[in-house]
């Protein structure tokens, strides 16, 4: 669903014109312009739900500049200004030695380009010579081939073509070439703090160097749950506000991992990242893709609640539902019970990586309601689900990648599963999940979720274990065996009691 105030940069944007646009926006705001107020509310998360007079009194030029930047798809005014100034792109350093890894990155570039997301358009513009002098609108409309995407990957690493880049990767793999960034990456992967300290001492600039896709060592450490090394990198000067090519930064990484490992250590690191300047408003993978949205996408409630104490951003119906905030849910319905347009704002983020299928969402009220229900289900927010069902949400709807029951199982929300079934959810509901068709809740419990308790509950309530998915022609038992879940397989074979 497009951003209502989104702007494409022209082929040769004028920095002074953008400064003037920010001043004009502030002037219009102070004159009481309804459009200016609407733009501020849409793009400024900390002013989104203040009254007109309060916004007018509080807004500064820096706020107007931030709104202008966000309307162009930039995380901040300085990043927009750097782009307009034509700052040379920082070359990425490789850290994997299998060429297929980089082919997969090229496939991800193509997938994101098809969505029209602003960051992906700029990646194409920055690193593909054919698109260097054209507008973002033209890039969005263009076809991007596999060869085009591979060229972008190669040039992002400082090579003129794919063949030269491939030769470099083969040389690193064979030990004929040294890549310090990879050495640091391997120290992180092997959880060797001494080795990481040694490579940083020899190459101190590595602490904030770009790796493939713009990933930095701090982000890689957090994604691999190397929290001690993440703290070491912060001690060495790692910037918690540096993001990758998709806008994804360290706060997104820690939100993505949720409560994995030592929850208290992860929360302490989250606090340190915020204290060091990490932005809770920064967006990735489309508008609204904040670290809070990422935490709620996976149902990481403790992490989400901590992030929400900073700011509820974005504030829309699915975020309110995921947080279980009935007071916020009520904001999105008018006196007649109709859904307000703001309920569907900032839903450009719908997947944390390109492994999830593309989705061309709409602003249809039913779709917004149904999606919010799935976000409530993954966080176990039963009161919120009840409120949404009372307002017309469809308990069996699968707006994108599964229904509420599937998400509750994936998140191991047994009480939520039982509640949904008790409310009449279809226990054999077939949905598309990723690239797999006709996935039932029992398939989910037996496979990706590995939820023995959920599988018992479904079988006790009459779920059909003989249903086959349409992609692999497999029953839930086949899924349990494929994923290596012997306890669930024994349950489905009848070897253990339901």
Q: What average pLDDT does the segment 29-34 reach?
A: 92
Band (8; pLDDT cuts 50, 70, 90): confident
Q: What average pLDDT does the segment 186-214 reach?
A: 97
Q: How many CA atoms lie within 13 A of 425 on its CB side?
A: 34
- Report whether 445 contacts 455 (CB < 8 A): yes
pLDDT for residue 2 is more than 70 = no
pLDDT for residue 133 is more than 90 = no
**The token pair that represents 271 in the structure block:** 């606090």
Q: Considering the chain, what percentage of its residues have pLDDT values greater than 70?
A: 99
pLDDT for residue 49 is more than 80 = no
Q: What average pLDDT does the segment 98-109 reach?
A: 94
* Domains with residue ranges and CATH for the chain: 15-84 (no CATH), 179-291 (1.25.40.20), 301-493 (1.25.40.20)
pLDDT for residue 259 is more than 70 = no
Pick from 178, 177, 186: which is nearest to 96 by CA? 186
pLDDT for res 356: 87
Q: What average pLDDT does the segment 403-418 reach?
A: 97
Q: What average pLDDT does the segment 333-353 reach?
A: 93
Picking from 37-46, 371-380, 481-490, which range would have the lowest pLDDT averaged per residue? 37-46
- φ and ψ of 194, to 5 deg: -65, -40
pLDDT for res 14: 85
The chain-wide mean pLDDT, for the chain, equals 93
pLDDT for res 143: 93
pLDDT for res 100: 96
Picking from 68-72, 91-95, 491-495, which range would have the lowest pLDDT averaged per residue? 68-72
**The token pair that represents 40 in the structure block:** 């501020």
pLDDT for residue 401 is more than 70 = yes
- φ and ψ of 37, to 5 deg: -60, -40
Q: What average pLDDT does the segment 235-248 reach?
A: 94
Helices H / strands E in the chain, number of each: 28, 2
Band (117; pLDDT cuts 50, 70, 90): confident
Q: What average pLDDT does the segment 182-200 reach?
A: 97
Q: What average pLDDT does the segment 317-324 reach?
A: 98
pLDDT for residue 121 is more than 90 = no
pLDDT for residue 86 is more than 80 = no
Q: Give the CA angle between residues 264, 416, 325 to the nearest 5°.
A: 65
pLDDT for res 5: 84
Stated as kind and residue range, the H or E segment containing 439 is strand 436-439
pLDDT, tens only, 264-318: 999 999 999 999 999 999 999 888 999 999 999 999 999 999 999 999 999 999 9
pLDDT for res 304: 97
pLDDT for residue 235 is more than 80 = yes
Query: Quick count: other Cβ atoms within 10 Å of Cβ 378?
Result: 25
Q: What average pLDDT does the segment 79-107 reach?
A: 90
Pick from 237, 238, 371, 225: which is nearest to 296 by CA? 371
pLDDT for residue 1 is more than 60 = no
pLDDT for res 319: 98
CA 457 remoteness from chain centre: 31
pLDDT for residue 156 is more than 60 = yes
């Amino acid at each position: 669903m497009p951003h209502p105030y989104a702007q494409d940069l022209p082929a040769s944007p004028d920095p002074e014109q953008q400064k003037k646009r920010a001043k004009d926006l502030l002037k219009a705001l102070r004159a009481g312009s309804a459009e200016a107020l609407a733009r501020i509310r849409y793009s400024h998360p900390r002013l989104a739900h203040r009254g007109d007079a309060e916004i007018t009194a509080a807004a500064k030029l820096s706020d107007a500049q931030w709104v202008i930047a966000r309307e162009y798809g930039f995380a901040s005014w300085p990043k927009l200004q750097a782009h307009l100034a034509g700052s040379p792109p920082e070359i990425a350093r490789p850290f994997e030695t299998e060429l297929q890894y980089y082919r997969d990155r090229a496939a991800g570039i193509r997938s994101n380009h098809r969505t029209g997301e602003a960051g992906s358009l700029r990646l194409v513009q920055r690193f593909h010579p054919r698109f260097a002098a054209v507008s973002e609108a033209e890039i969005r409309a263009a076809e991007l081939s596999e060869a085009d995407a591979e060229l972008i990957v190669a040039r992002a690493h400082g090579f003129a073509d794919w063949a030269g880049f491939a030769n470099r990767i083969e040389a690193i793999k064979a030990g004929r070439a040294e890549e310090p960034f990879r050495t640091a990456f391997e120290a992180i992967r092997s959880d060797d703090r001494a080795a990481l300290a040694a490579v940083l001492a020899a190459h101190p600039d590595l602490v904030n160097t770009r790796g493939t896709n713009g990933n930095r060592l701090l982000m890689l450490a957090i994604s691999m749950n190397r929290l001690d090394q993440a703290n070491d990198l912060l001690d060495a000067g790692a910037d918690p506000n540096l993001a990758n090519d998709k806008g994804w930064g360290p706060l997104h990484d820690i939100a993505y991992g949720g409560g994995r490992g030592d929850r208290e250590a992860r929360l302490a690191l989250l606090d340190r990242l915020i204290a060091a300047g990490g932005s809770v408003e920064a967006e990735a993978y489309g508008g609204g893709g904040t670290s809070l949205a990422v935490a709620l996408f996976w149902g990481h409630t403790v992490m989400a609640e901590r992030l929400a104490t900073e700011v509820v951003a974005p504030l829309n119906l699915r975020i309110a539902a995921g947080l279980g905030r009935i007071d916020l849910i009520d904001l999105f319905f008018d006196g007649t019970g109709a859904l307000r347009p703001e309920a569907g704002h900032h839903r450009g983020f719908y997947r944390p990586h390109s492994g999830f299928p593309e989705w061309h969402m709409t602003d249809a009220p039913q779709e917004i309601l149904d999606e919010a229900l799935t976000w409530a289900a993954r966080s176990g927010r039963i009161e919120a689900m009840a409120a949404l069902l009372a307002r017309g949400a469809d308990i069996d709807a699968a707006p994108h990648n599964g229904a509420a029951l599937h998400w509750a199982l994936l998140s191991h929300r047994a009480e939520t599963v039982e509640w949904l079934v008790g409310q009449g959810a279809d226990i054999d509901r077939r949905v598309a999940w990723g690239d797999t068709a006709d996935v039932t809740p029992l398939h989910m419990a037996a496979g990706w979720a590995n939820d023995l308790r959920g599988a018992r509950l479904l079988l006790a309530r009459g779920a059909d274990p003989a249903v086959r998915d349409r992609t692999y022609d497999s029953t839930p038992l086949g899924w349990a065996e494929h994923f290596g879940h012997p306890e669930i397989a024994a349950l489905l074979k009848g070897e253990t009691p339901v």
